[in-house]
Amino acid sequence: MRTVRWISLLLALVCISPAVIIPAGWGLSLSGMTINISGSSSPSGESISTLFVILDSYYYAFLFLNLLPFVFLTINASIMVNIQWKRVKDIRKRSQKDSDNVPELFNGKAHPMVSIIIPCYNEAMNVSSTIASSYRQDYRGNIEIIVVDDGSRDDTWSISRIFKTGDKQRSVKVFHKSNGGKADALRYGIEKSTGDIIIMTDGDSVLHSNAVSSIVDTFHVHPDAGIVGGYVFIRNTHTGYLTKLQQLEYIITQHLIRINQSEDGSVLIAPGPVFGIRSDLARAIPPVDRTIVEDCDLTMSVLSTGYTTRSTTKAVAYTTAPATWSAWFKQRKRWIYGQFQAWRENRWHLKKNLWGLYTYFTWVSTTISAFLLGILLLVSLMFAISGGNYYRFIEFVSLRTGMVFLIYLLSRIIVLIQYQEGRRIILYIPLKALYDMVSGFLTAYLYMRYITRSGIRISWGNRTGVVQ
């Protein structure tokens, strides 16, 4: 796929070239209410010129270190997603014609036994739909559904028991245990499972009918895979603009990052609502409690053992997203800081992995960008108060900001039009720019807490504590 990457890089360079060329030769001059394109890119004279040089240097560094990779990943993923799906369809055709014509994996079974583990804590409102969606899979092989009630205080246990069945093709087993956290519930489910592949989901998620078959097919396409992650969409986008913005975030991030990482066999986060793992590997490297994001830590741990980690766009799970900002901040604090923890625990391997290094670089660059944006806002306020250099400052910043924002919009539109869920809410893209700023400032704050070892106080489930 080297040719595809070179083509993607060339197209990405073409896309950002206006943002490189135009500000270098033109400025934006404001005279009263009249806008004229003229002048140089950085005003000369006065001490303010030093600030312009610093901001100009950062602008071009941002273009080549942040924006160029983003556009490249967008284009490359848009090409690769079709190639990856073609591989899956090819192996499906071969296995349908000849059940022996599949890779020597899972003892040569075209349809190995699958165990779906559903850890639950106070999911009385959602668990029935989760079990039902797991039961209605179109997978031709046998599936056992293992529900682990992790000490719920509501009716999760009694509701789950209604679905118990010993049917060979679709069995449902329900277990109750004292509360020990999600990782502990997953370990319990792994011990009770008998499948060749274990698929993990959440008690508030709904699996698409082809989720299991898509994951199994991807294991057949990539016999070296230890984990295969799916895609997550939000099912409560009707509750307000915040859930719609999260839907945009899910689609764009998964498209840009997971498709490209999967092609390299280096997916760093298999999403908790839907991913599959080889059962022998799940027993050898079970989920642990050393971080607050067991799915991310498990994926990185599997990658460090030498297995590849893959992803498929066809294995879809629908989950419920926070509908209020307070719930959003609570969730993102755990997710973001947990990723820092997982990176630290697996750093010896990730330092040698290109995607591991890139991920850490994005945290650093996000922190620097948040710091510089804060300075930019303060300087703008100072100039507005003084009045002397305000228009000169606006002249300098406006064109550069406009070019970056235009590329920001176009690149995200390219992604969203490829998904039905994205096309429905595409008009929210401008608002997502503000959402990304909030997310960026939160990431920067948490990263500073992480590198200074200050830690954060979080609560999850029925537990509260400080994590480092």
Per-residue model confidence as pLDDT tens digits over 268-306: 999 999 999 999 999 999 999 889 899 999 999 999 999
Cβ distance 321 to 240 under 8 Å?
no
- Determine what percent of the chain is predicted with pLDDT higher than 90: 59
State the Cα angle at 257 between 224 and 342, rounded to 5°: 75
- The mean pLDDT of 348-373, rounded to a whole number, is 91
Q: How far is CA 423 from CA 77, 108, 279, 412, 427, in A?
A: 18, 41, 37, 11, 8
H or E element at residue 217: helix 211-221
Is residue 321's pLDDT more than 80? Answer: yes
Q: What is the pLDDT of residue 390?
A: 65
Second-level CATH architecture of 105-324? Alpha-Beta Complex (3.90)
Binning pLDDT at 50, 70 and 90, where does residue 102 land?
Answer: low
Q: Is the pLDDT of residue 211 over 90?
A: yes
Does residue 251 surpass a pLDDT of 60?
A: yes
* pLDDT > 80? residue 145: yes
Does residue 31 have a pLDDT over 60? no
Average pLDDT for 90-113? 68
What pLDDT band is residue 389 in, cutting at 50, 70 and 90? low
Whether pLDDT at 26 is above 70: no
pLDDT for 391 equals: 67
Q: Average the pLDDT over 17-33 and give the result.
A: 61
Which tokens is 196 given? 């060749």
Helix (H/G/I), strand (E/B), else coil: 107: coil
Which range (32-46, 270-284, 320-334) has the least confidence?
Answer: 32-46
Over residues 144-151, the mean pLDDT reads 96
Name which residue leads in pLDDT, 29 or 183: 183
What's the CA gap between 42 and 393, in Å, rounded?
9
Give residue limits of the domains in the chain.
2-77+356-467, 105-324
Separation between Cα atoms, residue 226 and residue 163, nearest integer Å: 30
CB 209 within 8 A of CB 138: yes
208-246 burial, b for 16+ CB within 10 Å, e for fewer? beebbbbbbbbbbbbeebbbbbbbbbbbbbeeeebbbbb
Between residues 420 and 25, the one the model is more confident about? 420
Q: How far apart are CA 459 and CA 453, in angstroms?
A: 19
What share of the chain in percent tops pLDDT 70?
86
Alpha-carbon gap, residue 369 to 444, rounded angstroms: 9
**Position 25 confidence tier, pLDDT thresholds 50, 70, 90:** low
The residue among 68, 80, 67, 413 whose CA lies nearest residue 248 is 413
Mean pLDDT on 107-120: 89
Beta bridge partners of 115: 144, 198
Which pLDDT belongs to residue 297? 95
pLDDT of residue 382: 73
CB 316 within 8 A of CB 211: yes
150 has which bridge partners?
177
**What's the mean pLDDT in 223-246?**
94
Average pLDDT over residues 318-324: 95
Q: Is the pLDDT of residue 431 over 60?
A: yes
CA distance 302 to 47: 54
